[in-house]
Structure 1
């Protein structure tokens, strides 16, 4: 068996920032720390933090007054921020800067009286947060059929935004349908779909044609991981989304198959290596690294955490 190990894969800059932020917050504040929704959509990452005393909540009312609450990488709505203030919570915002960009675009378009078409998946944490920025101005579209049903008050004042973790091909189809129906529609100055999502999808498109089977490491509730599996299937390959080697079925493979392995942006590298080791032990697989694009993006820790760190240093140095 040959294993084609895709690069880039796994953690993106936003996920790294969010995880580092929560680790540092635990060092500074101690447990328990509360997180609104999962810090990232990966069950192993979430499980590791639960073991350290992190409490994940879906309602801010579950957080005790005055406690520390961290906003996940997917972002939150203004309503959540307001409820946090009312409960006197010490908040740390680990929203990915690329998600924040979409929020700011929504605010700008709403102030300019545009109807905003948000292309995304209903109920996804990121979409819920973006919708909350301008609920009276935003309408959600999930597919091309939704475009045909759209009704807007002024077709000369319509804009579109996208969830950052969509399939590029699906988003382009929907945007094309929007432009055909609303020729005056405007979009963001720069694509909303994040660099990591695009790079990982590009790697699957380039490498999957050489493979018999594609393994995608990631959790079932990870949008960008699901898109990687779908893209591999669109290439005519057997594709499986798994959290780790324990979910792999040997019957998926032939002894001399070529297997591509990649990972969604919230999947830990240790789980990738676990699967590589599993295939090496079971099928004597040899590994070949395939680099499609280099990534050098990093995001600084959030300002809230930097201020918290400075306060901690000041307190330790006080007489």
Structure 2
């Protein structure tokens, strides 16, 4: 029996899908419609269980190793981007390739390539093992060093410091990245920063919305999968601001105990989480007593990215 005292739900604005995620999912769906199943996808197209299962049901096959893809098959690179080695292997194997890398990640890759040709080494702020980090660091065979925290900045040993540039995973905590960048600039004062930061507009906007929302609610629910970097950052941010926060992959993960004595519930979703899950969570919260659902005022996102040639 669920007992809780939820009265109202406040929806963060913006929340949920960003332009890069919309585009990546559409690329897989259009490839399936045009070429038929199966379409192979290297890595989860975006880090969301619901989205991946939905595409599996339509005929997408998710793989990590290109050896698992038959010759001549249609292959999609995930939104997180891939290393040069993966790109070259896919071409050598003769797949029909569609690249769903988010254009904002591609922008980082292009910058790395351009500055490398000018003799730069790189410090990359990011999380070890995340596919976006592996893809960006894999643009070069050497000369790119990962820093995950301020302590790493003190330890890192680039071969030279005259030409040193910093790049960032697009889905980090804006505040954490700023703190690490400050440490980098203190140790390497001549480091080259991006003119426009690498953390993407959608990550920034969703974090800004949580900063406004968290102080107004008793508990925050973040819809997102455990593997989703930007969703995890939203939960951490709320907790840092002193608001209890929980991340759910599906409405079934909600626990009524979270809402005991909590009248105002905040709700947001990571950039890879579909709105259908948000709506299902709202229904569960209504079953716990919520009578009103309010949308926060917030930034309206209008960014759209074009599809690759051959799928338009």
TM-score normalised according to structure 2 size: 0.96
Q: Does residue 186 of structure 2 align to residue 180 of structure 1?
A: yes
Q: Which residue is equivalent to 1:76?
A: 82
Q: Which residue is equivalent to 1:251?
A: 257
Please, which of 5, 27, 33 is the counterpart of residue 33 of structure 2? 27
Q: Does residue 292 of structure 2 align to residue 286 of structure 1?
A: yes
Residues 81-122 of structure 1, C-alpha deviation per residue, up to 9 Å, x if partnerless? Answer: 111112110000111100000101111121111110011001
Residues 12-35 of structure 1, C-alpha deviation per residue, up to 9 Å, x if partnerless? Answer: 000000111111111001100000
Secondary structure in 1 aligned to 2:226?
coil
Q: Which residue is equivalent to 1:102?
A: 108
Q: Which residue is equivalent to 2:244?
A: 238
Q: Which residue is equivalent to 2:305?
A: 299
Trace 1:262-281 onto structure 2 (pairs within 5 A).
262-281=268-287
Residues 224-264 of structure 1, C-alpha deviation per residue, up to 9 Å, x if partnerless? Answer: 00000000000111100101210000000035521100000
- The Cα of 1:304 is off from its aligned counterpart by 4.4
CA contact (8 A) 2:143 2:158 kept: no
Trace 1:19-58 onto structure 2 (pairs within 5 A).
19-58=25-64
CA contact (8 A) 2:145 2:158 kept: no
Please, which of 101, 115, 118 is the counterpart of residue 112 of structure 1? 118
CA contact (8 A) 1:159 1:187 kept: yes
- The Cα of 1:214 is off from its aligned counterpart by 0.4
Q: Distance in 1 between matches of 2:265 and 2:135?
A: 37
CA contact (8 A) 1:255 1:283 kept: no
CA contact (8 A) 1:93 1:304 kept: no
Q: Which residue is equivalent to 2:227?
A: 221
CA contact (8 A) 1:164 1:194 kept: yes
Secondary structure in 2 aligned to 1:118?
strand
Q: Distance in 1 between matches of 2:122 and 2:262?
A: 50
CA contact (8 A) 1:114 1:159 kept: yes
Give 5+ residue unaligned stretches, structure 1: 307-319
Secondary structure in 1 aligned to 2:227?
coil
Q: Distance in 2 between matches of 1:81 and 1:149?
A: 31
CA contact (8 A) 2:153 2:184 kept: yes
Secondary structure in 1 aligned to 2:288?
helix
Q: Distance in 1 between matches of 2:177 and 2:212?
A: 19
Larger mean CA deviation between 225-234 and 84-93 belongs to 84-93
Residues 32-87 of structure 1, C-alpha deviation per residue, up to 9 Å, x if partnerless? Answer: 00000000000000000111121100011110011000011111111111111121
Please, which of 206, 214, 222 is the counterpart of residue 208 of structure 1? 214
CA contact (8 A) 2:223 2:248 kept: yes
Please, which of 121, 128, 146 is the counterpart of residue 127 of structure 2? 121
Q: CA RMSD in A?
A: 1.0
Residues 250-294 of structure 1, C-alpha deviation per residue, up to 9 Å, x if partnerless? Answer: 000035521100000000000001011111122133111102211
Q: Distance in 2 between matches of 1:16 and 1:156?
A: 40
Runs of 4 or more consecutive aligned structure 1 residues displaced over 6 Å after TM superposition: none
Q: Distance in 1 between matches of 2:163 and 2:149?
A: 21
CA contact (8 A) 2:10 2:296 kept: yes
Secondary structure in 2 aligned to 1:91?
strand
- The Cα of 1:153 is off from its aligned counterpart by 2.4
- The Cα of 1:157 is off from its aligned counterpart by 1.1
Please, which of 47, 62, 68 is the counterpart of residue 68 of structure 2? 62
Q: Which residue is equivalent to 1:146?
A: 152
Change (3 A) 1:256 1:180: closer
> Between Structure 1 and Structure 2, how many residues are aligned?
306
TM-score normalised according to structure 1 size: 0.94
Trace 1:180-199 onto structure 2 (pairs within 5 A).
180-199=186-205
